[in-house]
Amino acid sequence: MSDLIIRDGYIVSPQGVTRASIYVSGGKIAAFGEKFDIRGVDVVDASGMYVFPGFVDEHVHFREPGYEWKEDFSTGSAAAAAGGVTTVLEMSNTVPPVADASTLRKKAELVRSKSWVDYGLYGVLTDQSLNNLEEMLEAGAVGFKAFLGPTTGDIEQPSDPTIIEALTLSREKGFTIAFHCENRHLVHHYEQKARREPVSPLSHLHSRPAICEVDSVIKINYYAAKTGGRALIVHLSSGEAVDYLRGNKAPSVFVETCPQYLLLDSNDYQRFGNLIKVNPPIRFPEDREKLLQGLRANVITNIGSDHAPHTLEEKRKNVFEAPAGMFGVELQGPLMVDMALRGRIHLEKVAEVLSTNPAKTFGLYPRKGGLLIGSDADFAIFDPRTPTKIQAAKLHSKHRFTPFDGREILAKHRYTVLRGKIIAVDGEPIGAAAGQWIKHG
């Protein structure tokens, strides 16, 4: 493995922004300094550019096995590399769901040579899989996912005793459980009410009001507080949930939102319709603003893309029949960097919520998510002198459509570096897929 120098960039970490060069040896960060004049070493001239820790997307659905017509590990991970993501954590609602160690191993073998970036694999938490958690952890599961609300694959909701037992085990073993927080019974109730009303672009939003999310958020936060278990509340969407967590978040609870909830709101349904149908739904302008406030105030600790693509034909169905989910892994980094350059958040916050905190949440730090001596040499490098526009046709997912098509981004993503190797230049993956399976701890 050849050495590499990242020369004269602005190094962005949660602690601040400093100008320095980075010397990489053996795929690890070996030193920081002003200059490294070493012959025979590849050099990336990062002068004037921001060098972030490689982004860790803790929330992707690459659909393999079982839904490969929507996405697969090759296309999904290529999109990740193109957007500065160097590690993805892939969800368990595939076919079959990852509910035991054997299924986990088979999935790992299936995707072994396909990923452009390093990857972790979730197991699923249901009543049936509870007794399999330890064997899945030993087999390499990075964490577990519990689907409290209905979603793709219609995974069974774990019972309350199962959740409590799993969180207790989480405290003992140090793993994290990600929770899709929507009360399934309330969702069913409000969806039936919405179906009786005239169909509109807002029908999906009306079918899953904030009460569905807040009810589950309160329960999971309380269970985590009582057990000491590690819980990640994913894709937070409502201002009410932010208000509750602001004064009540348990010490072992992490909270994720996604760029779509920070940048879109109910006013966008008229234009985009089912293209922005996601679970939980994109909500009202006041929710979007409170989510941003929660991010600034550290109530929201993590950003994940919830990359969950479908075909355009599927998205064109009736609002109640079209699947929920949207493209995200390639754009979350550029969108969040753009938010920082527009003054909505600090640059340090980008490194914190896209890299460091996701890695810490799943026990991957400091190998991943940090710019420290000995960390993997994973970098996402952006040039703020070169504004660019998102072009859906140039994205790398199987289905290249996004509501962010045409949006101006105030920095161009120039390089993605994985373990000291350049894997993407100017938004295009280069070389060959060489991602490694990353396991808990």
Quote the percentage of the chain above a pLDDT of 70.
100
Its sign, for the CA torsion 369, 375, 381, 384, is positive
* Cα 233 from Cα 250, distance rounded (Å): 11
Considering the chain, what is the average pLDDT of its residues? 97
Q: What does the domain layout of the chain look like in residue ranges?
A: 55-361
279 and 182 in contact (C-beta within 8 Å)?
A: yes
* Cα 86 from Cα 423, distance rounded (Å): 9
Identify the pLDDT of residue 336: 98
Our CA angle for 259, 340, 367, nearest 5°, is 75
Identify the pLDDT of residue 322: 96
Kindly tell me if the per-residue pLDDT of 39 is higher than 90: no
Kindly tell me if the per-residue pLDDT of 8 is higher than 80: yes
What is the average pLDDT across 228-253? 98
Kindly tell me if the per-residue pLDDT of 150 is higher than 90: no
44 three-class SS:
strand
353 and 292 in contact (C-beta within 8 Å)?
A: no
38 three-class SS:
coil
Encoded tokens for 389: 């526009």
> Residue 151 — pLDDT band, cuts 50, 70, 90?
confident
Higher pLDDT, 132 or 201: 132
- Residues in a beta bridge with 5: 23, 43
Which residue has 């602001």 as its token pair?
246
Identify the pLDDT of residue 250: 98
Identify the pLDDT of residue 1: 62
* Cα 365 from Cα 388, distance rounded (Å): 32
Which range (11-25, 138-152, 235-249) has the least confidence? 138-152
* Cα 356 from Cα 373, distance rounded (Å): 15
What is the average pLDDT across 233-246? 98
> Residue 237 — pLDDT band, cuts 50, 70, 90?
very high
Neighbour tally for 367: CB within 10 Å: 18
Tens digit of pLDDT for each residue in 377-409? 999 999 999 999 999 999 999 999 999 999 999
Report the residue count for the chain: 441
What is the average pLDDT across 72-82? 98
Torsion angle in degrees (nearest 10) through CA of 23, 25, 31, 34:
-20
Identify the pLDDT of residue 154: 78
Kindly tell me if the per-residue pLDDT of 201 is higher than 70: yes
Identify the pLDDT of residue 40: 85
Quote the percentage of the chain above a pLDDT of 90.
96
* Cα 331 from Cα 237, distance rounded (Å): 19
Encoded tokens for 369: 């998510």
**What pTM does this model have?**
0.97
325 and 204 in contact (C-beta within 8 Å)?
A: no
Distance of CA 2 to the CA centre of its chain: 30
Q: Where does 55-361 sit in CATH, by number?
A: 3.20.20.140
Identify the pLDDT of residue 2: 75
Kindly tell me if the per-residue pLDDT of 37 is higher than 90: no
